[in-house]
Amino acid sequence: MSASTLVTNIGELVANDPSADDLLGLRTDAALVVEDGRVAWVGDAADAPAADEVVDVGARAVLPGFVDSHSHLVFAGDRAQEFRARVAGEAYAAGGIRTTVAATRAASDEDLAAGVARHVEEMRRQGTTTVEIKSGYGLTVDDEARALRVARGFTDETTFLGAHVVAPEHAEDPGGYVDLVTGPMLEAAAPHARWIDVFCERGAFDADQARTILRAGEAAGLRGRLHANQLGHGPGAALAAELGLVAVDHCTFLSADDVHALREAGTVATLLPGVEFSTRQPYPSGRRLLDAGVTVAIASDCNPGSCYTSSLPFCIALAVREMGMTPSEAVWAATAGGAAALDRTDVGRLVPGSRADLVVLDAPSHVHLAYRPGVPLVAKTLVSR
Ligand code: NIG
Ligand code: FE
């Protein structure tokens, strides 16, 4: 790319400018200038300054690239059989994770990296420009460290999820497994991770175990996040608020007290509607959280078990159809909301100084993402790095 690029003839620009009066900071007939991978100028196309290169997007809509704050891309194999059984009536259970653990341990580093590359590219084609990637299918010191090393090759937003489920070798000794996670596994993982996560759910880890693991992670320089309240009511969301975590993910079953606590703590509730689609559970209400003043993010949770979609446009459409969110709220949640869930302000918005990660839709407005579900509307994705 030349030194400066003018992107012009933008029919609708979603800027997510926090100082705008409307949620999305919408502008029509807009333009923006990109310099050195950053947005240098945003304004009316008629006032645009000269640039070295001009890209005319033909009155299409331009959005910040999607920020997918929750994925599990380091895995081998798939669980199509499990999905088939589920749509025939079986319930989703956390134990299926162990099937993927066995396949992942048996895979080579090269195969794991090739799988991540394939899925990141698939995400890119659907408009995702920032992705968080978790470990959690290794569950040994070496396999968790290697999963994070592989993930680091694709993103800085890496999350140590040794506490996904108790490793099969420790089935009779969950306390011993927590000691392993908070000891040698954390030590090996920490250099490759920014975040630490725990699946706080019946069948995985309880609140005391999760607290212990998150505190150990924090002492090792990692920031905490949680999988919680996915399969039923439980203590995870309240724990996330108690610990002041940046985000708590799933939030399918929340009590009124949970919602209040999240709002008070300023913890982002990350909703993963692809999971409810795939597990056939009830959808959480985005409306209830938004009306209570909770910040909501939408992410894919792309993984081979509970949700094998990499598509944030699909998740946006589900949020609008099934979770009471407006198209604007759903688009915000998948861009600025995802950025908030990763404590980032340089992505998820297109304002001077932000990263020039942007999506050109083959459509005149962001509403089409929900209005035309399943249609590949992303015409072009630009990534600043
Ligand atoms: O986010 N909830 C726990 N972990 C994943 C599921 C992983 C799996 O089933 O393999 C999730 O849904
Ligand atoms: Fe997950």
Kindly indicate the confidence band of residue 381, based on its pLDDT and cuts at 50, 70 and 90.
very high
**pLDDT score for 305:** 96
pLDDT in tens, 250-259: 999 999 999 9
**pLDDT score for 2:** 57
**Angle, vertex CA 260, rays to CA 257 and CA 266, nearest 5:** 135
C-alpha to C-alpha distance for 91 and 280, rounded to whole angstroms: 8
Residue having the nearest C-alpha atom to atom 1 of ligand 1: 301
Average pLDDT of every residue of the chain = 97
Residue 385 has pLDDT above 80, yes or no: no
Residue 1 has pLDDT above 70, yes or no: no
C-alpha to C-alpha distance for 49 and 258, rounded to whole angstroms: 49
- What is the average per-residue pLDDT within 57-70? 98
Over 19-31, what HEC string results? CCCCCCCCEEEEE
- What is the average per-residue pLDDT within 221-246? 98
Q: Are the C-beta atoms of 384 and 357 separated by less than 8 Å?
A: yes
pLDDT in tens, 108-155: 999 999 999 999 999 999 999 999 999 999 999 999 999 999 999 999
Residue type at position 231: L
pLDDT in tens, 312-371: 999 999 999 999 999 999 999 999 999 999 999 999 999 999 999 999 999 999 999 999
Question: Does the C-beta of 303 come closer than 6 Å to ligand 1?
Answer: yes
Residue type at position 120: V
Question: Does the C-beta of 12 come closer than 6 Å to ligand 1?
Answer: no
- What is the average per-residue pLDDT within 174-203? 98
**pLDDT score for 92:** 84
Percent of the chain past pLDDT 90, that is, above it, reads: 96
Question: Does the C-beta of 158 come closer than 6 Å to ligand 1?
Answer: no
**pLDDT score for 307:** 98
**Angle, vertex CA 209, rays to CA 205 and CA 211, nearest 5:** 120
User: Which atom of ligand 1 is the closest one to the Cα of 306?
Assistant: 9
**pLDDT score for 94:** 74
- What is the average per-residue pLDDT within 36-40? 97
Residue having the nearest C-alpha atom to atom 6 of ligand 1: 306
The rounded Å distance from CA 307 to ligand 2 centre is 9
**pLDDT score for 384:** 87
pLDDT in tens, 284-316: 999 999 999 999 999 999 999 999 999 999 999
**pLDDT score for 88:** 92
**pLDDT score for 96:** 87
pLDDT in tens, 88-97: 988 888 778 9
Question: Does the C-beta of 301 come closer than 6 Å to ligand 1?
Answer: yes
Across the strands, what pairs with 196? 160, 224
Q: How many CB atoms lie within 10 A of CB 167?
A: 23
- What is the average per-residue pLDDT within 241-246? 98
Q: Tell me 190's DSSP state.
A: G
- What is the average per-residue pLDDT within 185-195? 98
Phi, psi (deg, nearest 5) at residue 306: -85, -15
